[in-house]
Amino acid sequence: MSPALWDGLHRVSTATLTSELLRAGLRNTFLTGVKPLKPDQRLVGYAFTLRYIPSREDLDFQVDYDNTRDPQRLAVEAMGERQVLVIDARGELAAASFGHILATRIQQRGAAGLVTDGALRDASRMNTLTLPVYCAGVHGTTSSVRHRAVDANVPIGCAGVAIFPGDVIVGDEDGVVAIPSALAEDIAQKAIEREQLETYILGRVESGESIVGVYPPDERTIMDYRASLDPDGHG
């Protein structure tokens, strides 16, 4: 993706991206119930997935994790720049699915964000990070009571949405959308253009016009919009 598109993705809303994905035939791309820890954060990156299953006492509940074998720990030390850790925590909200020391580590490694359909702990410390963090809840209990990491970079479900490694993950105040990598450039381009048009429409509605003919725009409004982009008519 070109730097311009990548930059543009930081400015378009997840609402606009979701609408462009719908125009492309994809209805189920927004993660229901996953919210930003800090409302004004923006997230753009490539999905690095991590899959959890329920824990079992003979395998988990260890006090200390084995950093040379535990898939969660291996994932943390494998993440690179522009990658977003996306965790399939099965929507489990009765224990955390990640903690702030690991979040600090992936931030240090250049990660672009953290997304889970489970809970997080240490919310107050998480809030001191610059890393954009999205979760479905907060819980003080450590992950091993409910979760065992089993593999990374496989296709997962997260908050009801299919996530493949490499999908483009975008987050804003509403939440998180996953764009299939093959569609990402096209969707980004269209969303950036669409948002320009909607800003123009919003301006007219804010000035007191009816939505009739304006939203959705009829041909006349589209023409006016184009003229507004090129006020001198040199287009």
Q: Which two tokens stand for residue 123?
A: 């919310």
Choose the stretch contacting its own copies; rule: CB under 8 A; options: 4-12, 24-32, 185-193, 221-229: 24-32
Among 38, 213, 220, 228, binds its own copies (CB under 8 A): 213
Pick from 30, 46, 48, 98 the residue near its own copies by CB under 8 A: 30
For its own copies, give the closer residue by CB, 1 or 162: 162
Tokens 């997260």 found at: 158
Q: Which is nearer to its own copies, 85 or 139 (CB)?
A: 139
Q: What is the DSSP string of 118-133?
A: SEES-HHHHTTSSS-E
The residue (of 5 and 37) whose beta carbon lies closer to its own copies is: 37
Binding of residue 183 to its own copies (CB under 8 A): yes
Toward its own copies, which CB reaches closer, 76 or 234? 76
Among 155, 186, 226, 228, binds its own copies (CB under 8 A): 155
What are the Cα distances from residue 190, in Å, to 22, 28, 135?
Answer: 12, 18, 28
The length of the chain, given as a count of residues = 235
Q: Which residue do the tokens 């229901």 mark?
A: 32
**Of 20 and 45, which has the nearer Cβ to its own copies?**
20
**Is residue 232 close enough to count as binding its own copies by CB under 8 A?**
no
CA 137 – CA 134 distance, rounded (Å): 9
Quick check: 197 binds its own copies (CB under 8 A)? no
Minimum Å distance from CB 103 to its own copies? 10
Tell the residue number behind the tokens 């099965």, with chain if given: 90
Identity of the residue, 8 or 190, whose beta carbon is nearer to its own copies in the bound complex: 190
Best CA proximity match to 202, nearest among 217, 189, 192, 191: 217
Residues 50-109 that bind its own copies (CB under 8 A): 52-59, 61, 63-65, 67-68, 73, 76-77, 90, 93-94, 96, 99-102, 104-105, 108
- Mark 129-141 as b/e (b = at least 16 C-beta within 10 Å): bebbbbbbbebee
Helices in 48-159 by DSSP H: which ranges? 71-78, 100-108, 123-126
Cα distance between residue 112 and residue 106, in whole Å: 9
Binding its own copies (rule: CB under 8 A), the pick from 2, 10, 28, 80 is 28
Of the residues 3, 69, 130, 206, which one makes contact with its own copies according to CB under 8 A: 206
Rg (CA), the chain: 20
